């Protein structure tokens, strides 16, 4: 309301500032004239309400012009379930336009969301991490790896999707065993390429601990008796 107040000091109006503001909003002379006529009659509060109403109409008009000139499907693209899509939607509403690159990004995110949903549909139902003080045997898939900086330098950590039986699984986070790197080298020597796009099946024995925030997520320590197996390639790599 500060910006509007600066345009309407003491219940009056600075026509020069209002003209510049409305021209930037693409409202035109007619709207400025309507506001001048209206402001001479009612109270300051009514004038401010009318001002807000006109500015709102200007934004709607800009959005309609943008949608009319934008590629088909832009509305659906801006409604995609993605945080960047929501940000682009907010920008389109506030500014009444998007750049060509932003429009391209909006459509790209639709594909990203579709891939995410496909991947989510393939994931098993999550189950609680077992509560035990014993070292247990884990059968899992290594679905993500990340180098983490620590006191002694970088350590390769991994997210393991662990078989819980009955088609369910739980997730464990911990240091990736050296046997996984050894298996990657062995695969490269045998096939002439790295298995970067393959998800290995890993079995190991370790002590596990359930997270206090998420019962389906936990941590493992000191894995031993590690077995690693990469799946057979399909498509390009199997020819």
Residues 109 and 6 in one domain: yes
Q: pLDDT digits over 34-80, tens only?
A: 555 555 555 556 656 666 666 666 667 777 788 888 888 888 888 88
β-pair partners for 140: 162, 202
CA distance 203 to 141: 8
Q: Which of 116, 135, 151 is the last residue of a domain?
A: 116
Q: What is the CATH number of the domain that holds 210?
A: 2.40.50
| pLDDT score, position 64 | 79
Quick one: CA dihedral 219, 221, 225, 227, positive or negative? positive
Residue 181 sits in which domain range?
A: 125-238
CA distance 184 to 216: 28
CA distance 42 to 8: 13
Residues 6 and 47 in one domain: yes
Residues 102 and 149 in one domain: no
| pLDDT score, position 121 | 59
Count of other CB atoms within 10 angstroms of residue 137? 9
| 106 contacts: CB under 8 Å, gap ≥ 6 | 74, 77, 78, 80, 85, 88, 98
Q: Which of 71, 96, 116 is the last residue of a domain?
A: 116
Structure-token pair, residue 21: 């503001």
SS3 116: helix
Buried/exposed 20-58: b ≥16 CB within 10 Å, e otherwise: ebbeebebeeebbeebeeebeeeeeeebbeebeebbeeb
Residues 165 and 228 in one domain: yes
CA distance 49 to 222: 67
Residues 65 and 155 in one domain: no
DSSP codes, 29-44: HHHHHHHHHHHTSS-H
Residues 232 and 132 in one domain: yes
| pLDDT score, position 191 | 87
Residues 165 and 182 in one domain: yes
Residues 98 and 17 in one domain: yes
CA distance 129 to 217: 6
Domain count, the chain: 2
Quick one: CA dihedral 138, 144, 147, 148, positive or negative? negative
SS3 72: coil
Percent pLDDT > 90 in the chain is 30
Q: How far, in whole angstroms, is CA 145 from its chain's centroid?
A: 19
In the chain, which stretches have pLDDT less than 50? Answer: 1-15, 17, 19, 24-30, 33, 237-239
Structure-token pair, residue 152: 């002694």
SS3 187: helix
| pLDDT score, position 63 | 77
Residues 138 and 224 in one domain: yes
């Amino acid at each position: 309301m500060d910006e509007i107040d600066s345009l309407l000091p003491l219940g009056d109006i600075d026509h020069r500032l209002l003209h510049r503001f409305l021209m930037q909003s693409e409202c035109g002379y007619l709207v400025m004239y309507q506001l001048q006529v209206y402001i001479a009659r009612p109270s300051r509060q009514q004038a401010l309400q009318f001002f807000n109403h006109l500015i709102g109409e200007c934004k709607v008009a800009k959005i309609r012009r943008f949608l009319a000139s934008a590629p088909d499907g832009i509305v659906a693209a801006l409604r995609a379930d993605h945080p960047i899509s929501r940000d682009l939607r907010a920008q389109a509403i506030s500014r009444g336009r998007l750049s060509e690159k932003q429009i391209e990004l909006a459509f790209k995110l639709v594909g990203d969301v579709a891939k995410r949903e496909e991947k989510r549909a393939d994931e098993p139902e999550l189950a609680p991490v077992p509560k035990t003080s014993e070292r247990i045997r884990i059968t899992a898939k290594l679905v993500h790896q990340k180098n983490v900086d620590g006191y002694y330098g970088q350590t390769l950590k991994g997210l393991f999707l662990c078989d819980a039986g009955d088609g369910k699984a739980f997730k464990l986070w911990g240091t990736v065993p050296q046997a996984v790197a050894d298996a990657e080298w062995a695969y490269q020597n045998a096939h002439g390429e790295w298995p970067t796009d393959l998800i290995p099946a890993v079995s190991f024995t370790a002590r596990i601990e359930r997270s206090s925030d998420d019962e389906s997520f936990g941590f493992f320590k000191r894995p031993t008796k590690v077995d690693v197996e990469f799946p057979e390639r399909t498509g390009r790599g199997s020819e």
